[in-house]
């Protein structure tokens, strides 16, 4: 029997790109997009879409049954910066959504789950450079606490109920097809849009704030690769560290300038600086490399080149 896939959060930064890639692999009719708001034109016109609030367990079950869903990618979540301003709702959304999906697998209604964790599971006392898989996890943000708690529940459901759930700890993600919403790493996407539209950007993190980042192509590939690898290769059922490249606002600005864009960056630090300060600067992803052969391909130079090229087309700006 072919797998039928439900992507929850198809209008978000990852969902917008993941649905299209999954449809190429599994066929348009086998990948159902879902969100509380409509997804991109490309998604809406190329396959099934369901309006779905994942905290509504009854509606979720109805959608899963209607489309004979076997696999779920749960991407709906409130990210770090927004969660700090919406503590109770962020906790409810991030935890209820996960339990609703884990329980579907526990009851054998679905077979496999992808659930994203984040570098936000680490905290201010964690080793900052090449943070290992099993480093100290003492997050001090609502988002980080929800992701760490989610990791523990994923491992628990795997051990106790044999639920086939896999997860990766995403760094900050950069892509041109959609904009991020509510994260601390969002600056690394907005900077490209503003560079091309206004030739200037005011950054909410200080110039030397180094964070782990990843290009969306790598993130989508990692997501699909861990779902497709044999279950016995997945030795870690909480969540895997994965690394792309690390850089700070000053370095990304220098790359943008080196591509002949007239550009100035200013700094106006806000509450997101404290969140960024609590996170690692770079990640050791050797466990993912060993277990399911993960390897990132994009560096800052390639990301900058690709982002500017694609956004120039999007905004109809000539070189």
What span, in angstroms and rounded, lies between the C-alpha atoms of 229 and 221? 12
Q: Does 118 bind ligand AKB (CB under 6 A)?
A: yes
8-state DSSP, 254: H
Number of residues written out for the chain: 319
Kindly tell me which residue out of 33, 79, 163, 196 binds ligand AKB, with binding defined by CB under 6 A. 79
Q: In the annotation, is 143 catalytic?
A: yes
Assign residue 45 a region (left: φ > 0; alpha: ψ between -120 and 50; beta: otherwise).
alpha
The distance of closest approach from Cβ of residue 101 to ligand AKB in the complex, given in angstroms and rounded to an integer, is 19
Q: Does 4 bind ligand AKB (CB under 6 A)?
A: no
Q: Does 209 bind ligand AKB (CB under 6 A)?
A: no
User: Nearest CA to 204 among 176, 185, 226?
Assistant: 185
Kindly write out the interface string for residues 166-185 of this chain, putting x where it contacts ligand AKB by CB under 6 A and - elsewhere. Answer: ----x-x----------xxx
Kindly tell me which residue out of 8, 105, 119, 191 binds ligand AKB, with binding defined by CB under 6 A. 119
Q: Does 222 bind ligand AKB (CB under 6 A)?
A: no
182-200 burial string, b = 16+ CB within 10 Å, else e? Answer: bbbbbbbbebbbbbbeeee
Q: Does 80 bind ligand AKB (CB under 6 A)?
A: yes
Q: Does 248 bind ligand AKB (CB under 6 A)?
A: no
Site size toward ligand AKB (CB under 6 A) is: 11
The distance of closest approach from Cβ of residue 276 to ligand AKB in the complex, given in angstroms and rounded to an integer, is 8
Kindly tell me which residue out of 52, 120, 121, 226 binds ligand AKB, with binding defined by CB under 6 A. 120
- Binding segment toward ligand AKB, per CB under 6 A, in 93-101, 118-126, 127-135, 220-228: 118-126
Q: Which residues touch 236 (CB under 8 Å, ≥6 apart)?
A: 133, 287, 291
Given 73, 143, 187, 215, the catalytic residue: 143
Binding residues for ligand AKB restricted to 13-52, rule: CB under 6 A: none
Nearer to ligand AKB, 67 or 147 (CB): 147
Q: Which residues touch 38 (CB under 8 Å, ≥6 apart)?
A: 11, 44, 49, 51
Q: Does 144 bind ligand AKB (CB under 6 A)?
A: no
| Whether 90 contacts 46, CB under 8 Å | no
29-60 burial string, b = 16+ CB within 10 Å, else e? Answer: ebbbbbbeeebbeebeebbbbbebebbeeebb
- Catalytic sites, residue numbers: 143
Site residues for ligand AKB per CB under 6 A: 79-80, 118-120, 143, 170, 172, 183-185
């Amino acid at each position: 029997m072919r797998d039928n896939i439900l992507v929850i959060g198809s209008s978000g930064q990852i969902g917008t790109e993941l649905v299209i890639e999954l449809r190429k692999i599994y066929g348009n009719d086998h990948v159902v997009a879902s969100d509380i708001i409509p997804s991109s034109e490309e998604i809406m016109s190329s396959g099934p879409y369901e309006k779905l609030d994942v905290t509504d367990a009854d509606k979720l079950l109805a959608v899963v049954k209607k489309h004979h869903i076997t696999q779920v990618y749960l991407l709906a979540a409130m990210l770090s910066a927004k969660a700090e301003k919406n503590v109770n709702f962020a906790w409810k959304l991030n935890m209820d959504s996960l339990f609703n999906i884990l329980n579907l697998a526990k009851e054998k209604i679905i077979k496999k789950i992808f659930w994203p964790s984040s570098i936000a599971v680490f905290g201010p006392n964690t080793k900052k450079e090449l943070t290992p898989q099993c480093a100290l996890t003492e997050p001090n943000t609502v988002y980080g606490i929800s992701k760490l708690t989610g990791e523990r529940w994923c491992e628990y459901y795997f051990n106790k109920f044999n639920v086939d759930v896999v997860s990766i700890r995403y760094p900050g993600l950069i892509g041109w097809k959609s904009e991020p919403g509510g994260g601390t790493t969002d600056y690394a996407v907005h900077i490209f849009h503003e560079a091309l539209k206004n030739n200037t950007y005011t950054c909410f993190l200080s110039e030397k704030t180094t964070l782990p980042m990843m290009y969306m192509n790598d993130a989508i590939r990692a997501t699909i690769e861990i779902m497709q690898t044999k279950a016995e290769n997945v030795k870690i059922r909480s969540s895997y560290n994965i690394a792309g490249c690390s850089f700070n606002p000053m370095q990304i600005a220098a790359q943008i300038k080196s591509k002949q864009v007239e550009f100035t960056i200013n700094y106006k630090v806000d509450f997101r600086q404290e969140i960024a300060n609590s996170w690692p600067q770079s990640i050791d992803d050797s466990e993912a490399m060993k277990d399911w052969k993960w390897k990132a391909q994009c560096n800052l130079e390639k990301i900058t080149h690709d982002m500017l090229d694609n956004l120039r087309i999007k905004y109809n700006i000539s070189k």
